[in-house]
Amino acid sequence: MHENICGRSHSTAFNKSRKTVTALLLDLGNTALKWATSNKPEEPHAYVHCGNDVVPDELLHKWLNLKPERVVGCMVSSEKFAFNITRFFNAHGIKWDWLHSERVFQGRDFSVVNKYDNYEQLGSDRWHAVIGAASLYPNRPILVVHIGTATTADVVIPEDDKTQAFIGGRILPGPSMMTEALLTKTRCRPGRIGVRSDFPTNTADAITTAVLEAHLGIVDRSLASLRKMGFDDPCLLFAGGAAPLFAPYIMQEYPQAVIKHNLVLRGLAMRATNR
């Protein structure tokens, strides 16, 4: 979906029409900004900012040409980057709203209850991914795994015909964070990126294998917890910047898995239609 070059933007589908769109959707993560329009949340675009606070003029004018009536977004970091975005929209008289987690999402056809002890503590990206997943698979148990700077495995279960519940999840350092911890806190110097092996015989392969299997471990434990509740066939969704790298192993271990990158944007679209 995006290039692995910091500061470069790329989109899978750019609508050159100047027709007004209802809302511009923004998902501002630790290293990348993903965006779409509310009428086309299934066509995401991405800009890899890598922590840079500067929003490129090319991207801002691309948004302006869409003539959005308003901007709806969520963020987990990069507050200065978000400030620069909102300052631009203020200057052009465009309404904006950075959304947060809530206790209950009440949609037109379904609702999602947030069972986190302190619902405000739940990352807004996780909450909107849950809403997006629930909209795709109504009345189904769902495991949403997001592999990025951090990796999360969040569970949604049906409560009744029109109500689903986010009942909790697991958080793990993402692949890069795990690897960097070993490189900076130990004397490990593999010199290359390894490959998965049942019995690694060099440091590079040992690190890669362990990082991969640690991630598969939280998936296995989450699925086991669902089975204890009587949910034997949950929907398994993977997303996040590192998900494509894991895809061959994911599909080998879980052939039923679906890689779905736009869950947060889809959830934002659901919220936007209710506001």
> Is residue 45 a part of any domain in this protein?
yes
Number of structural domains, the chain?
2
> Is residue 197 a part of any domain in this protein?
yes
> Is residue 41 a part of any domain in this protein?
yes
Instruction: Round to whole Å and give the CA distance between 9 and 129.
Output: 23
131 and 203 in a single domain? The answer is: yes
Backbone angles phi, psi at 237, to 5 degrees: -115, 135
Per-residue model confidence as pLDDT tens digits over 114-135? 999 999 999 999 999 999 999 9
Residue for token digits 């669902």?
Answer: 226
pLDDT (0 to 100) of residue 250: 87
Instruction: Round to whole Å and give the CA distance between 99 and 72.
Output: 7
Q: Which of 43, 65, 98 is the last residue of a domain?
A: 98
pLDDT (0 to 100) of residue 20: 58
129 and 240 in a single domain? The answer is: yes
Closest CA to 207 of 217, 198, 195, 220: 195
Closest CA to 263 of 174, 176, 156: 156
Token pair, residue 187, equals 């004397």
> Is residue 273 a part of any domain in this protein?
no
Token pair, residue 183, equals 């490189």
- DSSP E strands in 87-162: the ranges are 95-98, 104-106, 111-114, 142-147, 150-160
Catalytic residues: 125
116 and 161 in a single domain? The answer is: yes
124 and 251 in a single domain? The answer is: yes
**Low-confidence residues in the chain, pLDDT < 70:** 1-20, 275
Closest CA to 264 of 122, 131, 86, 157: 131
pLDDT (0 to 100) of residue 116: 98
Q: Which of 78, 98, 118 is the last residue of a domain?
A: 98
209 and 235 in a single domain? The answer is: yes
In three-state secondary structure terms, 130 is helix
Look up the CATH number of the domain holding residue 123.
Answer: 3.30.420.40
pLDDT (0 to 100) of residue 19: 53
Q: Is 243 exposed, middle or buried (0-12, 13-18, 19+ CB in 10 A)?
A: buried
Q: Which of 98, 123, 147 is the last residue of a domain?
A: 98
Instruction: Round to whole Å and give the CA distance between 126 and 100.
Output: 10
Domain that holds residue 175: 104-268
pLDDT (0 to 100) of residue 80: 85
Per-residue model confidence as pLDDT tens digits over 89-123? 999 999 999 999 999 999 999 999 999 999 999 99
